[in-house]
Amino acid sequence: MTIKRSAIIGTGSVLPKQRLSNEELAETHHIDTSDSWIVERTGIHYRHIADSDETTGTLATEAARRALKNAGVKAEDVGLIVLATTTPDQTLPATAMTVQAALGINDCVAFDVQAVCSGFLYALSVADSMLRTGTADIAVVIGAETFTRLLNWEDRTTCVLFGDGAGAVVLRRTEEEGKGIQTVKLHADGRYKDLLCSSGGPSSTGTVGTLLMKGREVFRHAVTNLVTVTQEALLSSGFDASQVDWIVPHQANARILDATARKLGVPSERVVMTVDMHANTAAASVPLALDAAVQDGRIKSGDLVVLEAMGGGFTWGAAVIRF
C-alpha cells in the first residue's frame, strides 16, 4: 500500500519595508537599552516593523504569492489555505479569507489557526492531515504576524525581542517514496499560560492587550520542551539527530537556539538562524527561516529537515520533513 504524504514544493516570505536596528529602536522609543545589551542576550540586530498600510493579511498574501510562484502553482489550483497568526486583521472573519480573496480564489477551504509561536507547526499538521485524507491536493500554509502591535514599548524586556513578517509553504499530496512530511508531533500545557500571554482579549477586556512574558521561566521550558519534542519526532519517523541535515527552529532567541542544538548534539552549522535579522516573528519565524535557507541553497532536494517551535500557552511541536 502506497503511503500518501504532503510534500513542500515551494516556499516564500516577506518582511515589512521598515527595518529598525537596535540603536534606532532605543532612540525611537526612548528605551534604556543598547545594541550590545540586546545582542548579548538575544542575538538580535534588526527587526522589521509593519507600517499602517501593512497588515497580517497583506504580508500573508505576499508570502503566499511568492511561495506559489516558486512552486510553479496557480492560485486557482489551491484547495486549502491554513494561516497561523496571533494578530489577525479582524476578530472575524479569519485572515485566511482575506488572503483567499486577494489571491483571486473564489472557493477553497480557508481558516486561521492560533497557537502563538507554534502556530505554523500546528497549521502544517492540520494541512498535512487534510491533504492525506483527500480534502485537497494542494494547500498553502502561512505563518504571518504584525506582532509589534501587541508590544508595550516601555517594557525593554519584551519590546526588543519581536518583529513582523510572514512566511508560507505550498504543500502537494504525493505518493513519492520517502518524500514529504514524515511526522509532526504537537503538545500543549495550559498550566503555564500566564508565563507568556497578553493582558487582554475581546472576551475578557474588550481590548487587544499587550504582551506579558516571564523570560527566565520561558527560556527554561523552551529548551527542555524543544529538545524533547524533536527527539520524539525523530524517533517516530525512524531517524536520529545525526541524520538531520538541517534544523529550522522558531527564531525566538539565539541563546535558546544554541542551547537546544547542544542538548540535541547537533552542530551549530546545521541550525538555520535568522533571528539576528528579523527578531522573533512568532508564527512567521519558522517559515521565514525555512524560506531563507531554501532560497540561498542550503536546503536542497533530498535533505532531512526538522522544524521546531514553542509558543505561549505553552504550545510546542516538531516536524520531520524529507525535501
Annotated catalytic residues are 117, 250, 280
Strand arrangement of the beta sheet that strand 165-174 belongs to: 5-14, 165-174, 138-145, 80-84, 109-113
Block residue for cell numbers 543598547: 34
Contact 319, 307 (CB under 8 A): yes
Could you give the CA distance from residue 86 to residue 115 in angstroms, rounded to a whole number? 7
Closest CA to 15 of 210, 294, 292: 292
Block residue for cell numbers 500545557: 189
- Grid cell, residue 88, equals 489577525
Backbone phi, psi, residue 288, to 5°: -65, -50
Contacts of 160 (CB under 8 A, 6+ apart): 22, 25, 31, 33, 38, 42, 44, 279
Contacts of 101 (CB under 8 A, 6+ apart): none
Closest CA to 185 of 3, 314, 307: 307
Please give the full DSSP string across 257-278, using - where no structure is assigned: HHHHHHHHT--GGGB---HHHH
At 90 the three-state DSSP class reads: coil
Could you give the CA distance from residue 238 to residue 230 in angstroms, rounded to a whole number? 12
